[in-house]
Amino acid sequence: MKKIIALALSLLMLTATLAGCGSSGTTLADVKKAGTLTIATSPDFPPFESLGENNAVEGIEIEILNTICERFGVTLTINQMDFDSVIPGINAGKFDLGVSGISVTEERKKNVLFTDPYCLAAQAIVVTAGSPIASKADLTGKTVSVQTGTTAEDFCMKEGYDVKGFAANSDAEAALVTGKVDAWVIDDLTAAEMVKAYNEENGEGSLVILSEAMTTEPYAFALTLGSDDLAAEINKIINEMVSDGSIAAIFEKYDAPYTAPHN
């Protein structure tokens, strides 16, 4: 009898453990029940997400998310934080979705689940007017600013540059402008947007983007591991928006060149 009870108990525990594993992620039913999709974002990354009037978060990714939320029949709840807190927050299950121009990497796949990508981007080099740096080759031995926790940081570390990391993108830009570093490495479309804004205020050509795409990086949204159901539902919408041209139209609205992913 004791043996049977022990066996029954261990079976019960095994079932509980297995169920526990499966329930670590978020499902579409969870989101619908909550009535809202909760995202984590670092809104210092125009044209993908930035602070507009009244400090409201706006940009390409917010527009994509608005469509997703509309389809799910839920509202969008936005949590703002530094970029290097987004992936850890998703990994810990604190938010449903990481939305931050996040590049898909093998390393990150160990900690979060990615949706299908919706575009391709690349790292770019930004320098000040008259800089002797004209290409990637000239960065050897130079000091470079990046945003902490980004693929720009990874890339520059691997290349062996003298890397200075900043929590906010605007501080990485300021480091270049004030001469604390020789170059600033950042994703191409955000470089274009931030350099345009800077040059409008400080004179055309004050900052220069070198036309050398150094990487190819697919952008996707990140979910807590185990959220396969929610990821599949989001993927249906993303893939539809990629193929029917609605993502391209959103990029056009923001004057950003669009490169479709190879899904």
Q: Which residues bind ligand ARG (CB under 6 A)?
A: 42, 44-45, 49, 83, 100-103, 147, 150-151, 169, 187, 217
Task: Compute the radius of gyration of the chain from its Cα atoms.
Answer: 21
Cβ-based nearer residue to ligand ARG, 75 or 170: 170
Complex with ligand ARG: residue 60 or 210, whichever CB lies closer: 60
Query: What is the H or E stretch that residue 164 is in?
Result: strand 162-166
Q: Crossing angle, helix 188-202 and helix 169-177, to 10 degrees?
A: 50
Report yes or no: 257 and 251 within 8 Å, Cβ to Cβ: yes
> Which residue, among 148, 144, 180, 169, has the nearest Cα to 159 in the 3D structure?
144
Closer residue to ligand ARG, CB minimum distance, 169 or 224: 169
**Between 122 and 248, CB nearer to ligand ARG:** 122
Q: Which is nearer to ligand ARG, 187 or 233 (CB)?
A: 187
- Minimum distance of ligand ARG from residue 113's CB (angstroms): 15
* Least CB distance to ligand ARG at residue 171 (A): 12
Question: Which residues does 185 contact at the CB level (< 8 Å), separation at least 6?
Answer: 123, 124, 125, 126, 144, 145, 146, 152, 155, 156, 214
- Asked if residue 117 lies in contact with residue 64, where contact means CB atoms within 8 angstroms, the answer is no
Quote the least distance from Cβ 11 to ligand ARG, whole Å.
Answer: 44
Helix axis angle for 60-72 and 228-243, nearest 10°, is 120
Neighbour tally for 109: CB within 10 Å: 12
| Nearest approach, Cβ of residue 190 and ligand ARG (Å) | 7
Give least dist CB 186 to ligand ARG, A: 8
Q: Is 103 or 115 the residue whose CB approaches ligand ARG more closely?
A: 103
Selection from 261, 238, 216, 250 nearest residue 63 by Cα: 250
DSSP 111: T
Cβ 153 to ligand ARG shortest distance, Å: 8
